[in-house]
Amino acid sequence: GLLGADVLGFQRRQGAHNFVSAAQHLLHATELDTGLIHFEGRNVNVGAYPISIDVADFELQASGRATRQRTAQIRSRLGDPEVILLGVDRLDYTKGIGNRLRAFGELLDQGRLDPERHVMVQVATPTREGVEQYQDERREIEQIVGEINGRHSRLGFPVIHYLYQSLPLDELIPLYRAGDVMLVTPFRDGMNLVAKEYVAAHVDGDGVLVLSEFTGAADELGEALLVNPHDDHALQDTIVRAVEMHRHERRPRMEAMRQRIESSTVSDWAKSFLDVLIDPS
């Protein structure tokens, strides 16, 4: 089982703490020190090792001429709106896509957002298409998109652009660059690398990240606008705050997040495991 490993890494400190607690109560393992378990004659290191991304590769691609041109094309095809809101998720009921779309629709209904100035792009990557629960989720999301577009779209300019497909990285990075506000609002997520990818792609130092407080990424990206995705009113208010945020606030927040992910890459993540294996003390 898991205790047969020398090092156990969890995305969040709470996950590591819960595992240690379960091992103590269910298997009567002994915690010798914080995160160091003794079980059946062996010591096991348990800790939080939040995974990251290849930041340098993202930044290199995001800085390229082809990406800049593609980003401009995306904005043009969307009608050159003032603000593009973006969601990129696996189509999974835990991702809170429906809640996010409904919040956007409510803001349009209330007049707090303007369909001529604000548009949303939602990418939903297909997953587990043969499972009935996921089929139901897809139907619900597509119904929400249709209803909102029916109420608020102009001829030839839908207010929500919905893509049910996987995008290659050379298409995804320009889309990240085009997104002025990134909505990462799952109900719960161990990490969520989309949040880090968005930050890495914004080499221009601009953009706003709205991030669920129930993600592992929230532990590292505190300069994002953190929100409880279960609270509909809070989600709506946070979206409006993101849309209206002045660049003098946006840029310092983005710069702080960029510095943090640059100092903790996927290579650093892998090295952290090896360091503990070499010197478990």
Specify the CATH number for the domain of residue 258: 3.40.50.2000
> Tokens in use for 91?
């189509």
> Does residue 279 surpass a pLDDT of 90?
no
170 and 78 fall within a common domain: yes
40 and 149 fall within a common domain: no
* 273 in any annotated domain: no
Taking residue 158's Cβ as centre, other Cβ atoms within 10 Å add up to: 20
> Tokens in use for 170?
């050379």
Reduced to 3 states (helix: H, G, I; strand: E, B; else coil), residue 166 is coil
89 and 225 fall within a common domain: yes
> Does residue 47 surpass a pLDDT of 80?
yes
> Tokens in use for 123?
């990418």
99 and 199 fall within a common domain: yes
CA distance 163 to 138: 11
Taking residue 279's Cβ as centre, other Cβ atoms within 10 Å add up to: 7
Phi, psi for residue 215 in degrees, rounded to 5: -115, 155
Pairing of strands 36-39, 30-33: antiparallel
104 and 37 fall within a common domain: no
**What was the pLDDT predicted at 55?**
96
pLDDT in tens, 187-233: 999 999 999 999 999 999 999 999 999 999 999 999 999 999 999 99
> Does residue 280 surpass a pLDDT of 80?
no
pLDDT in tens, 82-100: 999 999 999 999 999 999 9
Query: Which domain, by its residues, includes 44?
Result: 2-49
CA distance 163 to 173: 15
* 276 in any annotated domain: no
Mean pLDDT throughout 64-72?
97
* 275 in any annotated domain: no
Instruction: Round the average pLDDT of the chain to a whole number and report it.
Output: 96
10 and 135 fall within a common domain: no
Reduced to 3 states (helix: H, G, I; strand: E, B; else coil), residue 124 is strand
Query: How many structural domains comprise the chain?
Result: 2
* 17 in any annotated domain: yes
> Does residue 281 surpass a pLDDT of 70?
no
> Tokens in use for 249?
């606030």
